[in-house]
Amino acid sequence: MSTESTKDRVIIFDTTLRDGEQSPGASMNTAQKLQVALALRDLGVDVIELGFPVASQGDFEAVASVAERIEGPTLCALARANREDIDRTWEALRAAKRRRLHCFLATSPLHREYKLKMSQQEVVRRAVEAVRYARERFEDVQFSAEDAARTEPEFLAEVAERVIEAGATTINIPDTVGYTVPSQYSSLIAYLRKHVRGIENVVLSVHCHNDLGLAVANSLSAVAEGARQVECTINGIGERAGNCALEEVVMALRTRHDFFGVRTRIRTERLYPTSRLLSNVTGLQVQRNKAIVGQNAFAHEAGIHQHGMLMHRGTYEIMRPEDVGFPGSQLVLGKHSGRHVLRQRMTELGYQLEAEQIDKLFEEFKHLADRKKEVFDADLEALVQGYIGPTEVSSWKLESFSCVSGQGTVPTASVCLTHTDGRKVQDAACGDGPVDAVFKAIERITGQQVRLCSYQVTSVTDGEDAQGQVSLEVEGGTRRFQGRAVNTDIIAASAHAFVEALNRMTRAPAILPTSSHAVPSMQASA
Ligand code: KIV
Ligand code: ZN
């Protein structure tokens, strides 16, 4: 049983790599997940949820591979309440030093009736059996009552009490659809603490979605009522409107220690670099006015504010930018900067690169420094994506392209792509403009037809020699996929970004049923 549930410490459970990765367009390959997991370890999170091993073979391999390489935090993976999932999750987490099984089953009337087609008694029995079975393998077992916030409180209390008896060490109360409001959610936590026998011996956890923009407020209200684990994601990424944002909940607990009286183990000065790293890896940009990590979070524009700040920072600033690792000034590298400085800067930016990755990056950096006088952090972050980006699964890569456009001619592009299976394919197409022609040629080569939903070009840094960054989103089937790339040539950046989005689409796991009917083995033992 966990001894972490001390009175005044809140366990930070990060689910960026599981619930976060379920965000449209946020899927990551194993190398990318490893970078994020290393950054989360350095940030000081207590528990990292690595994934959902039964969702796909790729998920299984990513969880297993990251579990081998990360030491320190507890490593957790998600399983449905059945023996097959639990066994498979055990396999995936085998290499982890500290491991936790996270088992979930829905409890709300809607889910019971329409999704699970199970009675209350069946839900209790299934949950108890799963937890008991999981405890035969794992010392640390978390049970989540999916859609807990819309479950009858008496029934939720019964489920919690029975899974605690069966050996659960953490009980999680998700607001799966972001429906609750702070006073209601905190009352539910207070109710459970009062009515569930044995609850004082386990960690009471919260997991809030942000559909009404209340995920952080709900989580904080629960902490005020005694919850001692908060589940959250970097930048608040996650299903639909996302999950509780780690950086916001952590800084609220720290800044308002006078009110909450609890601490976390987060190294807050790593918040900003971790947020940037995730945004670079996934291509999901952080809105400028986002609390804690947005570009404007510490910017004071109004004259009256600037005047107040000069007199006393506290007049308009409740946190110092340096407390969250917000860069005051950027270190600029140039063509005379050495390998050592480059390595150090990459570490500060949150990247843990192998020696050969640094060698490659150094070469590219020198090449870029010849074209640009000054190389900024954003340039380095753009370069490094090439080394941790999609590589290991079936994917396409841009080999070369050329295009012709101008007044009075039909824009035409010729593109050559290579595939990881060794194929090299060339094709040409016409379009409304050069970028459109390049995209059409890529579609012909890959055989994938998509709708371009958004396309943006921004400059990575200031200055005439700045690199252009293309961020785009495509729709294939019912889902959307992001691509992003940086290059001094905007058409090249567009082509790379488009290929990346199509590769993401190919890698996206199938949607997994959560219905109990898909789980014959547990029924057999029931
Ligand atoms: O939102 C949710 O209910 C979940 C559970 C699996 C914890 O993500
Ligand atoms: Zn969730």
Q: Is 238 in the pocket of ligand 1 (CB under 6 A)?
A: no
Tell me how far the alpha carbon of residue 444 lies from the centroid of ligand 1, in angstroms: 39
What is the dihedral sign for C-alpha 193, 196, 197, 201? negative
Ligand nearest to the CA of 143: 1
User: Residue type at 246?
Assistant: L
Round to whole Å and give the CA distance between 298 and 322: 10
pLDDT in tens, 80-119: 999 999 999 999 999 999 999 999 999 999 999 999 999 9
Q: What is the pTM of this model?
A: 0.82
Residue of the CA atom closest to atom 1 of ligand 1: 176
Residue of the CA atom closest to atom 6 of ligand 1: 104
Question: What backbone torsions phi and psi does residue 514 show, to the nearest 5 degrees?
Answer: -105, 5
Residue 327 has pLDDT above 60, yes or no: yes
Round to whole Å and give the CA distance between 146 and 144: 6
Residue of the CA atom closest to atom 7 of ligand 1: 144
Q: Is 146 in the pocket of ligand 1 (CB under 6 A)?
A: yes
Residue 13 has pLDDT above 70, yes or no: yes
Q: Is 49 in the pocket of ligand 1 (CB under 6 A)?
A: no
pLDDT in tens, 379-417: 888 888 767 765 445 689 999 999 999 888 999 999 999
Give me the torsion for CA of 212, 213, 215, 220, rounded to 10°.
Answer: -120
Round to whole Å and give the CA distance between 48 and 72: 10
Tell me how far the alpha carbon of residue 176 lies from the centroid of ligand 2, in angstroms: 5
Q: Which residue out of 185, 209, 230 has the highest number of ligand 1 atoms within 8 Å of its CB and is therefore the one to mutate?
A: 209
Mean pLDDT lowest for which of 321-335, 461-475, 499-513?
499-513
Tell me how far the alpha carbon of residue 228 lies from the centroid of ligand 1, in angstroms: 17
Round to whole Å and give the CA distance between 182 and 187: 8
Strand, helix or coil for residue 207 = strand
pLDDT score for 312: 81
Q: Which residue out of 21, 49, 101, 104 has the highest number of ligand 1 atoms within 8 Å of its CB and is therefore the one to mutate?
A: 104
Tell me how far the alpha carbon of residue 173 lies from the centroid of ligand 1, in angstroms: 9
* pLDDT > 70 fraction of the chain, expressed in percent and rounded: 91
Tell me how far the alpha carbon of residue 110 lies from the centroid of ligand 2, in angstroms: 17
pLDDT score for 514: 53
pLDDT score for 518: 38
Round to whole Å and give the CA distance between 155 and 227: 19
User: Residue type at 162?
Assistant: R
Q: Is 144 in the pocket of ligand 1 (CB under 6 A)?
A: yes
Q: Which residue out of 78, 142, 171, 172 has the highest number of ligand 1 atoms within 8 Å of its CB and is therefore the one to mutate?
A: 78
Ligand nearest to the CA of 52: 1
Q: Which residue out of 146, 147, 159, 240 has the highest number of ligand 1 atoms within 8 Å of its CB and is therefore the one to mutate?
A: 146
pLDDT score for 335: 81
What is the pLDDT of the chain when averaged over all its residues? 90
Ligand nearest to the CA of 147: 1
Ligand nearest to the CA of 81: 1
Which pLDDT band, with edges at 50, 70 and 90, does 301 fall under? low
Domain ranges of the chain: 4-282, 298-324, 339-384, 396-507
* Fold exhibited by the domain 396-507: Double Stranded RNA Binding Domain (3.30.160)
pLDDT score for 27: 79
Q: Is 231 in the pocket of ligand 1 (CB under 6 A)?
A: no
Q: Is 207 in the pocket of ligand 1 (CB under 6 A)?
A: yes
Residues constituting the chain: 526
Q: Is 104 in the pocket of ligand 1 (CB under 6 A)?
A: yes
Residue of the CA atom closest to atom 8 of ligand 1: 19
Q: Which residue out of 163, 207, 231, 239 has the highest number of ligand 1 atoms within 8 Å of its CB and is therefore the one to mutate?
A: 207
Superfamily of domain 4-282: Aldolase class I (3.20.20.70)
Tell me how far the alpha carbon of residue 232 lies from the centroid of ligand 1, in angstroms: 11
Residue 376 has pLDDT above 90, yes or no: no
Residue of the CA atom closest to atom 5 of ligand 1: 146
Of ligand 1's atoms, which has the minimum distance to the CA of residue 146?
3
Q: What is the mean pLDDT of residues 203-210?
A: 98
Round to whole Å and give the CA distance between 498 and 493: 9
Three-class HEC string of 310-374: HHCHHHCCCCCHHHHCCCCCCCCECCCCCHHHHHHHHHHCCCCCCHHHHHHHHHHHHHHHHHCCC
Tell me how far the alpha carbon of residue 147 lies from the centroid of ligand 2, in angstroms: 9
pLDDT in tens, 464-506: 777 888 988 898 877 778 788 888 889 999 999 999 889 888 8
Q: Which residue out of 143, 144, 209 has the highest number of ligand 1 atoms within 8 Å of its CB and is therefore the one to mutate?
A: 144
Q: What is the mean pLDDT of residues 285-297?
A: 92
Tokens standing for residue 21: 């990765």
Q: Is 176 in the pocket of ligand 1 (CB under 6 A)?
A: yes
pLDDT score for 295: 85
Of ligand 1's atoms, which has the minimum distance to the CA of residue 144?
7
Which pLDDT band, with edges at 50, 70 and 90, does 367 fall under? confident
Most confident of 64-78, 272-286, 366-380: 64-78
Tokens standing for residue 446: 């890959």
Q: Is 151 in the pocket of ligand 1 (CB under 6 A)?
A: no
Task: Judge whether 135 and 161 are in contact, CB under 8 Å.
Answer: no
Task: Judge whether 19 and 239 are in contact, CB under 8 Å.
Answer: yes
Residue 431 has pLDDT above 80, yes or no: yes
Of ligand 1's atoms, which has the minimum distance to the CA of residue 174?
3
Q: Is 174 in the pocket of ligand 1 (CB under 6 A)?
A: yes
Q: Match 């480059």 to its residue by tokens.
A: 342
Q: What are 174's strand-pairing partners?
A: 207
Q: Is 35 in the pocket of ligand 1 (CB under 6 A)?
A: no
Round to whole Å and give the CA distance between 286 and 297: 11
Tell me how far the alpha carbon of residue 141 lies from the centroid of ligand 1, in angstroms: 15
Residue 329 has pLDDT above 60, yes or no: no
Strand, helix or coil for residue 147 = coil
